[in-house]
A and B are shown apart, each in its own frame.
Chain A
Amino acid sequence: MIELFASQNASSFPVLNAIIIVPAMGALVVVLLPNSRPEMMRPIGAIFASIAAAMSLYVMTQFSSHDPAFQFESIQSWIPALGINWHVGVDGISLWLVVLTGLITPIVLLGVDPHHDPKPYTAWLLLLQAGSFGAFLALDLFLFFVMFEIVLVPMYMLIGGWGYDDRRYAATKFFLYTMAGSALMLVAIVSVATLSAGDQGITFSVIELAERQALSTNTARLCFLAFALAFIIKVPVFPMHTWLPDAHTQAPTAGSVVLAAVMLKLGTYGLLRFGLYLFPEASVWSAPTLATLGVIGVIYGAIVAAMQKDLKRLVAYSSVAHMGFIVLGIFAFTTQSLEGGVLQMVNHGLSTGALFLLVGMLYERRKTRAIEELSGIQSAAPIFAGFFTIVMLSSIGVPGLNGFVGEFLVLIGSYETRRWWTIIAAAGVILAALYLLWAYQRVFHGEPTPTDEATPDLTLREGLILAPFVAGILFLGIYPKPLLDRIEPAVDVLIAHIEDHSDYERPSPAAPVVVDLDQLGEDGH
């Protein structure tokens, strides 16, 4: 650790390995703490989560912004008999997801009270953080699969142990849906590795397999479909989304926040890192279908969200709509659309994460999430309403806040290659305004009943929990350049890789429109 801060040379300390291992060790430490001090569990867990967060920030500051390659790479032999290595690295696509994972976990760990059994709660959250880091950093297919699957267990336990009434059903559905998707992905992973082996020997390295491109067109397409199925269930893309509202609604607040902010991103990140990168031709081949599903998700999610009676379910369906935008951006294959997609992953993490926190705080106060039972909260809790407004506007995509930047980039980038899809998806922006503002109106405006008037306002502690989210929302809305600078080289290289290995060509930048003033003047007369 001393070495980490003393030396500027990043290669000397395997910081990415430490990022994964520290929270896992934290979980172990928490488990071994004596049961007699339950109040110590969350602070001690938060220390480990914060160390990981600090290391993710360190990676962010040391990340060289115009380098598209994987940085901080580290390879250790793991199971040589099967050609498997512990291989991690970070690039512009995964960097911000790692930072997001790092920052969110300590916040929810400290911010959300589990009410009972703090020890397993803390341990599971730390394991969730470790597994999510691992999934975002893995550059070995086997390692990725291990991490992608292992995060199911802590989330399953969080929903089952600390969730609401219908948690049994929701937790099991969540686990089985995701496991079913990844079952075929494992077969595809083994197939890709085996069929690409050739004379060079078997490898599970993503970089190596992407370079080899040894599969025949049809095999690659089948394997891509198996990968894509796993990821679109995780995202979730319509029609594989049905587990999400149940899981979100039944999960405890911390579970919902991490699920929305981090775990859903595993799906879109997987599509980028493993779908597009490993199977460029198959991605181009399937892009119209997947973009269509994404757009259906945008519209469907918005309409269903508008119909919800439960505030948490509404936010869950808004997630379906937002993630649809990201999928559209990914399968439009332009620099801007991919950039927007990656940025939107971070934005969605901030805004939906904060929305779930706010709904959780509201539930703590009123023990209900039903929209019809709430009214006129604004007069009783003006600060709470203020925070809600900012986060909601970010989710709607109002200019000046982060949601706008991401959605705008996705729309403008997709318009070049997927015009009609983009036009329909743009309607989703309006729908988002509709359902969120309508819900806001019903809950915060109107005539408060005596119980509504008794709703306490935000405490300082809760304000401090929400402050980082709001800061991020404002910062990214005003000055997203630091993020985009680091995302852009990575997605540019990815698109170039797709162009190299398929017949796709990105649209050449439109020639600037030169207006001939003389001509204009003549026509005017």
Chain B
Amino acid sequence: MSDLPHLAFVGPSIDWWALLPQMILLGAALLILLVSALAPQRTSSGLATVITLCAAVTAYIVALGLWSDVKTEGPSATVASALGVDGFSIFFTILILVALAATALLAHNYLDREDIDPPEFHALLLCSAAGAIVMASANDLIVMFLGLEALSIALYVMIAMHARRPEARESAMKYFVLGAFSSAFLLYGIALTYGSTGSTNLVHVRDYLDAVVFRDQHLLMAAMALLLVGFSFKVAAAPFHFWAPDVYQGAPSPVTGWMASIAKAAGFAALLRVFFAAFASHDADWTPIVAVLAFLTLLVGAVMAILQTDVKRMLAFSSISHAGYVLVAVQSASANGTSAALFYLFTYTFMVLGSFAIIGAMGVDGEHPLDRYAGLGRSRPVLAMAFTILLLAQAGVPLTSGFVGKFQVIAAAVEGRGYLLASVAMLSAVIGAFMYLRIVMAMYVVDDGVEGPSPTVHWTVSIVLIGVVGFTLLIGIVPQFLIEFAEDAVPVLIRG
């Protein structure tokens, strides 16, 4: 008996406080499933939304506490350096929680309207949020992969929840097959990283790459290429974007907003942590590839967007183009570039959530032709103005957050002497602007006598719209605090 402790497995020390946000979300998911099994259906619908919101707010408060810890004591890591607690992880935690609350509000009325089972939806939403947070804070490639799968598997189901719509099932299938495909790439890349550096832990990978000069780095190059392909699938960067328009179009609008904002942000978080933080010493090898991806993504997104006639599909392509801007910032491989990418992702999340909220309110039957928006400026001037502000922000018009984001991306590219890429980024903004203006035109310029549509906008959707439009304008006019937040959130790899 006395020698048993020597044989027992000694687990790594765990800082439960740092894991609390994820645990709150997963606990809330379980609570929702429990409540829905016990409570009658009508009550559980509202209850699910309330529980999700409460979980988001509680986790948000915990995240703020963690943030002040990081401010005073510096970044740390826990669970044997597998999870990092730094400005970067908290930045994304906060972003994900804000988007979670907004999506829960948007889904509240949408699920009733479309007759989707609310408790399951909210439970999956919470799971995917927890997965996204794990992805953004993972310091270990395997943990990152677990987070990615938690996020993705929940999304597969959420997309398919529109049981009556065949296109929803089709897009879920498409996302599932291609998602599994990209996960395989990613996993293979992780395996090759392990092969070339002897660890999957990013802290170790970075130290190893700093210390060792490879005589033959083919294996590492292959690992980087495969990881990049895997992440490019997740963030829908060209030429790995083909799934995105179909999936975005077929998915329920709140889920589309959630995917375009958070699935993308989490993918970029992982990309930045792996490439900017861990592969920093080999940036000469990966930045040219990212630059090419950025170039293709910008142009494909912008050009394809103007060829569309369906508003939801237009915004799906424009979302691809926005990933291109973030890639422009990523390829500069500098602290300024990374904070520009973070700023861009943060502000874009708000714009895209608001845009898909309006699209969700407008497309009751799942159809989103441009004609349907004709005269919205006359029949619902406030809603039309909100949509206009969100669209102009995405086009990068000044006094909106979109302009400040683009400005920082351009500044980061220019600082890294990427003048050509900066110019291409700005020109693709002009191409994209044509598409946004088409929607604005449709809303405002109509012949006399045309009655605009009058969609019903539930009060939960109105709250979200007021929030996102207000935030977009506020950051457009006084961006200082968010810039500082993004500057403090550049990822660092710490051994726990």
User: Are A and B interaction partners?
Assistant: yes
A186 at the interface (CB under 8 A from B): yes
- CB 8 Å contact bits of B334-350 with A (1 = contact, 0 = none): 00000000000000000
Given contacts A81-B480, A171-B441, contact A179 B430 (CB under 8 A): yes
B423 at the interface (CB under 8 A from A): yes
User: Is A172 within 8 A of B441, CB to CB?
Assistant: yes
Complex CA distance for A81 and B397, rounded to whole angstroms: 20
Q: Determine the chain B residues whose CB is within 8 A of the CB of A160 once the complex forms.
A: 440-441, 444-445
User: Is A157 within 8 A of B444, CB to CB?
Assistant: yes
User: Is B479 within 8 A of A172, CB to CB?
Assistant: no
B403 at the interface (CB under 8 A from A): yes
Q: How far in angstroms is the closest Cβ of chain B from A128?
A: 14
User: Is A168 within 8 A of B479, CB to CB?
Assistant: no
User: Is B441 within 8 A of A146, CB to CB?
Assistant: no
Partner-binding segment picked from A187-195, A388-396, A480-488:
A187-195
User: Is B399 within 8 A of A150, CB to CB?
Assistant: yes
B445 interface neighbour in A120, A147, A167, Cβ under 8 Å: A167
User: Chain B residue with minimal CB distance to A148?
Assistant: B398
B411 at the interface (CB under 8 A from A): yes
Given contacts A81-B480, A161-B444, contact A190 B437 (CB under 8 A): no
Complex CA distance for A160 and B392, rounded to whole angstroms: 15
User: Is B483 within 8 A of A79, CB to CB?
Assistant: yes
User: Is B422 within 8 A of A190, CB to CB?
Assistant: yes
A370 at the interface (CB under 8 A from B): no
Q: Determine the chain B residues whose CB is within 8 A of the CB of A150 once the complex forms.
A: 397-399
Q: How far in angstroms is the closest Cβ of chain A from B373?
A: 14
User: Is B437 within 8 A of A146, CB to CB?
Assistant: no
Complex CA distance for A216 and B414, rounded to whole angstroms: 16
User: Is A149 within 8 A of B434, CB to CB?
Assistant: no
User: Is B397 within 8 A of A153, CB to CB?
Assistant: yes
A80 interface neighbour in B408, B437, B480, Cβ under 8 Å: B480
User: Chain A residue with minimal CB distance to B441?
Assistant: A168
User: Is B444 within 8 A of A194, CB to CB?
Assistant: no
Q: Determine the chain A residues whose CB is within 8 A of the CB of B243 once the complex forms.
A: none
Q: Determine the chain A residues whose CB is within 8 A of the CB of B423 once the complex forms.
A: 183-184, 187
B426 at the interface (CB under 8 A from A): yes
User: Is A186 within 8 A of B433, CB to CB?
Assistant: no
In this complex, the member of A81, A145, A183 whose beta carbon has the largest number of chain B beta carbons within 10 angstroms is: A183
Q: How far in angstroms is the closest Cβ of chain B from A230?
A: 11
Q: Determine the chain B residues whose CB is within 8 A of the CB of A147 once the complex forms.
A: 398
User: Is B410 within 8 A of A186, CB to CB?
Assistant: yes
Task: Tell me the B409-468 residues at the A interface (CB within 8 Å).
Answer: 410-411, 414-415, 419, 422-423, 426-427, 429-430, 433-434, 437-438, 440-441, 444-445
Q: What is the predominant secondary structure among interface residues of chain B facing chain A? A: helix
Contact residue range for chain A? 20 to 34
User: Is B414 within 8 A of A194, CB to CB?
Assistant: yes
User: Is B427 within 8 A of A183, CB to CB?
Assistant: yes
- CB 8 Å contact bits of A151-174 with B (1 = contact, 0 = none): 011001100110000011001100
User: Is A183 within 8 A of B479, CB to CB?
Assistant: no
Q: How far in angstroms is the closest Cβ of chain B from A45?
A: 17
User: Is A81 within 8 A of B484, CB to CB?
Assistant: yes
User: Is A187 within 8 A of B434, CB to CB?
Assistant: no
User: Chain A residue with minimal CB distance to B487?
Assistant: A81
A2 at the interface (CB under 8 A from B): no
User: Chain A residue with minimal CB distance to B415?
Assistant: A194
B407 at the interface (CB under 8 A from A): yes
Complex CA distance for A179 and B429, rounded to whole angstroms: 9
Q: How far in angstroms is the closest Cβ of chain A from B435?
A: 11
Q: Determine the chain A residues whose CB is within 8 A of the CB of B441 once the complex forms.
A: 160, 168, 171-172
A514 at the interface (CB under 8 A from B): no
B398 interface neighbour in A78, A79, A146, A194, Cβ under 8 Å: A146
Complex CA distance for A399 and B487, rounded to whole angstroms: 62
Complex CA distance for A160 and B480, rounded to whole angstroms: 34
User: Is B411 within 8 A of A146, CB to CB?
Assistant: no
A180 at the interface (CB under 8 A from B): yes
In this complex, the member of B381, B407, B429, B487 whose beta carbon has the largest number of chain A beta carbons within 10 angstroms is: B407
Q: Determine the chain A residues whose CB is within 8 A of the CB of B437 once the complex forms.
A: 156, 171-172, 175-176
Q: Determine the chain B residues whose CB is within 8 A of the CB of A152 once the complex forms.
A: 397
Complex CA distance for A161 and B441, rounded to whole angstroms: 9
A82 at the interface (CB under 8 A from B): yes
In this complex, the member of B398, B434, B479 whose beta carbon has the largest number of chain A beta carbons within 10 angstroms is: B398
Q: Determine the chain A residues whose CB is within 8 A of the CB of B444 once the complex forms.
A: 157, 160-161
Given contacts A150-B399, A157-B444, contact A191 B426 (CB under 8 A): no
Q: How far in angstroms is the closest Cβ of chain A from B456?
A: 21
- CB 8 Å contact bits of A294-323 with B (1 = contact, 0 = none): 000000000000000000000000000000
User: Is A175 within 8 A of B484, CB to CB?
Assistant: no
A183 interface neighbour in B398, B415, B430, B483, Cβ under 8 Å: B430
A-B contact pairs, 17 of them (CB 8 A): A79-B480, A81-B483, A120-B381, A145-B398, A147-B398, A149-B397, A150-B397, A153-B397, A160-B445, A161-B445, A172-B437, A179-B429, A180-B430, A186-B410, A187-B414, A194-B411, A194-B414
Besides A79-B480, A81-B484, A147-B398, 5 new A-B residue pairs in contact (Cβ under 8 A), listed by A number: A153-B397, A160-B444, A172-B437, A183-B430, A186-B407
A-side interface residues toward B, CB under 8 Å? 78-82, 120, 142, 145-147, 149-150, 152-153, 156-157, 160-161, 167-168, 171-172, 175-176, 179-180, 183-184, 186-187, 190-191, 194
B-side interface residues toward A, CB under 8 Å? 377, 381, 392, 397-399, 403-404, 407-408, 410-411, 414-415, 419, 422-423, 426-427, 429-430, 433-434, 437-438, 440-441, 444-445, 479-480, 483-484, 487
